[in-house]
Structure 1
């Protein structure tokens, strides 16, 4: 007669598990009925539960919030380091039958390492008497160690966990024994029981954030990626706070299987970017965020800022607030934050200040400014190509944010007369959003030391008969200063990239005044916004303003 048990518990069948095929989706099979049932088990798991290190904090027993969990975990990390010392290994072996270290030691960046060993006890299902083990009296009293025994199925555990697969199939004599011992701290007991139950049923009963985080850390320790993914999904469904989001950002550096928590980390980044979209609204709160939080915010394309100049100023202010030491500040700015500032969209005046800023190493600032200037010198279609070619995982430094003031490209000349040519690009959707009475302003640019700006309007024509597109040139207000310029407005009307002059003239500015044309293209708004409009090339409207100082101003 065929031995059904030998087929059922053959370790080779574990090779069909999800992790053996590259970590695929978790099986839907529910073996919850077999959990801790001797009829469906081939081994006994002996769990030695040691007291946690003495914790003077009164709230350490119960973690009801993310803050409690984070504080408690930080204390546990510090306690483990103090206990282990510099030369003390993380593992303590209970007996001489130690398996290969590479097979059973979890990630070295874990807070407390799990200890796995195999011991041969008398046959039967009776509990093991811990007082008979002479190796238990190391740094704690034998009476303080609790022992739990569970009936386990090695194929079920091995199918979910490479840790248990290696434990049960390492080819050594220990892998054939009936009893397996794990040693954990008391604070890990609940999480381990949840994890073992999950490995049978694919379900978790815990639903609080601290509880799920405990299970997630236990799942990482025992290499149960499917449980980590479930914990990550459940945590994403809970209401997120700045506190919890910052904690989730730290997870990839705290766990061995970082890929399993990446969706949770991405959700945390999106939450922080959305909450602090307007960095001026929560300025005090944002200034106290850690580096990981600032990186999440600066990675967003949707920051509500006036210009990239404002982003640069904010980053400098934050870095000076967080890092008083110049060398530390230079290291953080150069290695972490500079790549998140989109220097190609900063004004040339601000880029000049970058070159003389002592917060950056000179080599770093020179490279950033040169790259920005080369990008500005490219024609628009080449700029779009550079942005499209940028890898998805990079800093997105060539992508434009949703600035309050639209970036412009400025070409300046000193001879034969002081002159500047200003290029302003507006996307079709930006123009559409101007209807019926909106306006959009460009970044400031300078001529002869005086600041100017362009503004695009949707307004009524002079007879108030229809809406139309208008373009205006304004001077930044500086008292009653008088300034006369020759100006010309042009637009690109063909894919040949030639600009066609629309209007030209001369105007004497005084503080706060502007000059322009209510209907730049001499057509109604509906015709201007038509899909086949001549002036939109690949969905972009290209405008140009040329300014020259009159001789009377020199």
Structure 2
């Protein structure tokens, strides 16, 4: 393949002095159905003044292409049409999986045996447009340089170098839809000059589609960069994620699709706040939102419940729902970070295939049983993957590991791990809560705070134990707070005591480590082990 050339050859565009071939562009008028009438679609590009217009027009074009393909298939089965002067030399290996296949033909100049055909007169070349009213085809001819086009496009490179007689012909014919005309001319101009005058998002999208069709990666990259410069909206983000798969998979377009996914993930970071909007998102949108590590939810249980609600709305048939969950959507749920109670419900949920549910629950339980170091290792291996099962999100309620004992007294040991960056975000008055855990039939939680030390008037790190239930419930609990610290990395007791809870109250220490916040953060080697603060709370009920 000839390497890509960055020089500006704009001066040679459509100039016979610098061209070795003539490109004949057959433009077939677009036809759309409107209220049971078949009408000719003229000046489509002029109507697409916004992303919304482009999307609507694109949808109609896809439907029309499907109808045309069906009609062509019927015609090919019914009769064989031959053309003596314009054979179709489309090569199926030239391009793959294109949304609309590029049709390339060569035109032979009839001649007497033994005679060399004369090239068309200058008048024929200068006459750039004419209409064939019988077949509804408009034709344009322009001068092209095969080395320049071949250097930018594998499509043209193969067309001009396939070793067949047609590759040596001076006249080459392309057939396009009328709605593609402006985009193709912009594309050809770009292949010469590496730029074009198109500035609107809808026009750039048209050129992007044409560049994909004719495999001009440099133009796809240029259009993608230009589109990234426009303000992103929900409408445009969803449109970029709904482009044909051949476009979506191109490396040149990846920054655009990544920007669209990031926009939706940031906008709908709190899915409970925008619940109705998120429930109405299409499949590509819900995947972008629920794939985010920064999703702000109380726990992974919320993601599980939300996704089931979305699938029940968009896939009311149980067979379709099971299929989409198993093949595409269930991987958005990070089962290892769900609570055991919700995992138990997953096993009996009718929305999941029973075998699939058993597998994901078993994998989640195995992960929960791993030691913390092994859990962090598994999570780190998924950092650069599309879907992360083991990576924790920015949960409002931090996951905890709980050990429960029944005798000699009801007791539980609770482990809460906080990353260094999570502690940084607490300053100056933030707080983070753990997921609920249970002891003696009552729900409790831990909360870490950055607050002001009442005696010394400086910021410090505090840890508290609270009870969920409100009302007249009374519980007397022995508690002890501990933290791991270097050099021994053992849990060292910080505070212990006894407290009688009356629903909704909490007990704890405003300055767990007895140092200022700045010292707590600065002495990372003392309080953090591999960037993690390890906290432990032991609770015992004396009956």
1:392 aligns with 2:384: yes
1:45 aligns with 2:23: yes
TM-score, normalisation: structure 1: 0.87
1:321 aligns with 2:321: no
TM-score, normalisation: structure 2: 0.89
| Paired residues of 1:103 and 1:163 also in contact (CA < 8 A) | no
Candidates 490, 494, 498, aligned match of 1:502: 494
Q: Give, in whole Å, the separation in 1 of the partners of 2:213 and 2:75.
A: 14
1:449 aligns with 2:434: no
1:208 aligns with 2:195: no
Report the counterpart of residue 114 of structure 1 in structure 2: 102
Report the counterpart of residue 85 of structure 1 in structure 2: 70
1:478 CA drift (Å): 3.2
| Paired residues of 2:382 and 2:391 also in contact (CA < 8 A) | no
1:254 CA drift (Å): 4.4
- Structure 1 stretches lacking a partner, 5+ long: 1-14, 19-26
167-176 or 528-537: bigger deviation: 528-537
Q: Give, in whole Å, the separation in 2 of the partners of 1:429 and 1:110.
A: 45
Matches within 5 A, 1:86-165: 88=73, 95=84, 97-99=87-89, 101-104=91-94, 106-111=95-100, 113-121=101-109, 122-124=118-120, 125-127=122-124, 141-142=133-134, 144-165=136-157
1:17 aligns with 2:3: yes
1:68 aligns with 2:53: yes
Give CA deviations for 1:270-317 in whole Å, capped at 9, x if unaligned: 111111112122221111101111111111111122222222221122
Q: Give, in whole Å, the separation in 2 of the partners of 1:283 and 1:460.
A: 36
Give CA deviations for 1:164-203 in whole Å, capped at 9, x if unaligned: 1121122222222211111111111111111111111111
1:430 CA drift (Å): 2.6
Q: Give, in whole Å, the separation in 2 of the partners of 1:329 and 1:448.
A: 39
Q: CA RMSD in A?
A: 2.7
Count of aligned pairs between the two proteins: 520
1:464 CA drift (Å): 4.6
Q: 1:364 to 1:418 in 2, by over 3 A?
A: farther
Give structure 1 regions of 4+ aligned residues with deviation exceeding 4 angstroms.
57-60, 89-96
Q: Give, in whole Å, the separation in 1 of the partners of 2:82 and 2:239.
A: 33
Matches within 5 A, 1:250-265: 250-251=242-243, 253-255=245-247, 258-265=250-257
Q: 1:152 to 1:433 in 2, by over 3 A?
A: closer
Q: Give, in whole Å, the separation in 1 of the partners of 2:368 and 2:73.
A: 57
| 3-state DSSP of counterpart to 1:49 | strand
1:465 CA drift (Å): 4.5
1:281 aligns with 2:281: no
Q: Give, in whole Å, the separation in 1 of the partners of 2:462 and 2:75.
A: 71
Q: Give, in whole Å, the separation in 2 of the partners of 1:437 and 1:100.
A: 68
Give CA deviations for 1:60-106 in whole Å, capped at 9, x if unaligned: 831112222122122122122223218718999755634363355x4
Q: Give, in whole Å, the separation in 2 of the partners of 1:151 and 1:466.
A: 77
Matches within 5 A, 1:298-309: 298-309=290-301
1:108 CA drift (Å): 4.2
| Paired residues of 1:162 and 1:223 also in contact (CA < 8 A) | yes
Matches within 5 A, 1:166-205: 166-205=158-197
1:143 CA drift (Å): 5.9
Q: 1:431 to 1:93 in 2, by over 3 A?
A: farther
Matches within 5 A, 1:526-541: 526-532=518-524, 534-541=526-533
Q: Give, in whole Å, the separation in 2 of the partners of 1:252 and 1:496.
A: 57
Give CA deviations for 1:474-521 in whole Å, capped at 9, x if unaligned: 100232112222222111123654212222333221111112223322
509-518 or 88-97: bigger deviation: 88-97
487-496 or 467-476: bigger deviation: 487-496
1:454 CA drift (Å): 0.6
Q: 1:400 to 1:118 in 2, by over 3 A?
A: same
Q: Give, in whole Å, the separation in 1 of the partners of 2:454 and 2:383.
A: 49
Q: Give, in whole Å, the separation in 2 of the partners of 1:37 and 1:486.
A: 90
Q: 1:310 to 1:171 in 2, by over 3 A?
A: same
1:480 aligns with 2:480: no
Q: 1:404 to 1:251 in 2, by over 3 A?
A: same
Q: Give, in whole Å, the separation in 2 of the partners of 1:520 and 1:440.
A: 15
Q: Give, in whole Å, the separation in 2 of the partners of 1:188 and 1:305.
A: 45
Q: Give, in whole Å, the separation in 1 of the partners of 2:248 and 2:371.
A: 46
Give CA deviations for 1:512-553 in whole Å, capped at 9, x if unaligned: 1112223322334343333255222122211101122322xx
| Paired residues of 1:477 and 1:511 also in contact (CA < 8 A) | yes
| Paired residues of 1:467 and 1:524 also in contact (CA < 8 A) | yes
Q: Give, in whole Å, the separation in 1 of the partners of 2:249 and 2:442.
A: 57
- Structure 2 stretches lacking a partner, 5+ long: 110-117
Q: Give, in whole Å, the separation in 1 of the partners of 2:427 and 2:143.
A: 71
Q: 1:86 to 1:491 in 2, by over 3 A?
A: farther
| 3-state DSSP of counterpart to 2:96 | coil
Q: 1:475 to 1:212 in 2, by over 3 A?
A: same
| Paired residues of 2:248 and 2:254 also in contact (CA < 8 A) | no
| Paired residues of 2:97 and 2:246 also in contact (CA < 8 A) | no
| Paired residues of 2:404 and 2:412 also in contact (CA < 8 A) | yes
379-388 or 33-42: bigger deviation: 379-388
Q: 1:435 to 1:243 in 2, by over 3 A?
A: closer
Q: 1:283 to 1:522 in 2, by over 3 A?
A: same
Q: Give, in whole Å, the separation in 2 of the partners of 1:458 and 1:90.
A: 75
